[in-house]
Amino acid sequence: MKVSNMVSSNGNSVANQFVVSAVTTILNGRHETGNMFQSYDSNIAFKTYDRKIYLDENYWDYSTTTGKYRNQFLGEGIADTRKKIKSGIYKLVNLN
């Protein structure tokens, strides 16, 4: 497992915004391994190595700063994320 700070558009490490690599967790009764985006002490988004995306049902859209770095982690804007949640591509689960 490796923890890295997210990087700002200026190339600086951002405090309290992290990507945790090689995380294994149980989701939907299965062990899943991938990368977790964490804002402060809350898990926000989990991207499995086989490209499934899980968002925390309570914190995925918690604040402007969390949203900015969640978008960076997912590589898309909030409108795309909302569409994918609505269509079932992204799953809302308890990551905390």
Residue 19's nearest CA partner among 77, 92, 74 is: 74
Indicate if the pLDDT at residue 7 is higher than 90: yes
What was the pLDDT predicted at 23? Answer: 87
DSSP element (H, E) containing 41: none
**In sequence order, what are the residues at sequence separation of 6 or more whose Cβ sits closer than 8 angstroms to the Cβ of residue 83?**
none
Contact 58, 22 (CB under 8 A): no
33-42 pLDDT per residue, tens: 999 999 999 9
Answer yes or no: is pLDDT of 45 > 90: yes
CA–CA separation, 70 vs 29, rounded Å? 25
Residue 5 confidence (pLDDT) above 90? yes
42 and 55 Cβ atoms separated by less than 8 Å: no
Does the pLDDT value for residue 1 go beyond 90? no
Mean pLDDT of 60-73: 95
